[in-house]
Amino acid sequence: MKAIVLVKFTSLETRDGYRQLKHLKSVTDSFMVYGRFDAVAMIQANTLEEVRHILLSEIQPIPGVIETMPCLILEDENQPEPGQSPLRINS
């Protein structure tokens, strides 16, 4: 299960907080962004409960984190599985 987590930091702790965020073991990719949130982290977990645990025990305790918004990634049913060829429709 993959999730994207949007993270907002206090203005004085954005860079330090982002450095800590990107080094978490559960974070597979991360970016600093401009907008309502300051960072985006892609996390990998086995269950929804594990996503919750990562949020509560790893991301939210980072100094300066004031808001998180997890977004679960739903796999596209129309995309072929790895190793399968894409479905083609003859017209």
- Smallest CA-to-CA distance from 52 within 66, 65, 68 is with 68
Question: Is the per-residue pLDDT at 91 higher than 50?
Answer: no
CATH code of 2-72, in short, is 3.30.70.920
Residue 89 has pLDDT above 70, yes or no: no
pTM value is: 0.79
User: Which DSSP string do the residues of 46-67 spell out, in sequence order?
Assistant: SSHHHHHHHIIIIITTSTTEEE
Average pLDDT of span 11-20: 93
The two three-digit tokens of residue 23, written as one number: 């080094």
Q: Buried (b) or exposed (e) across 65-89, using 16+ Cβ within 10 A?
A: beebebeeeeeeeeeeeeeeeeeee
What CA–CA distance (Å, rounded) separates 84 from 80?
6
pLDDT in tens, 77-86: 555 555 655 5
Domain map (residue ranges) of the chain: 2-72
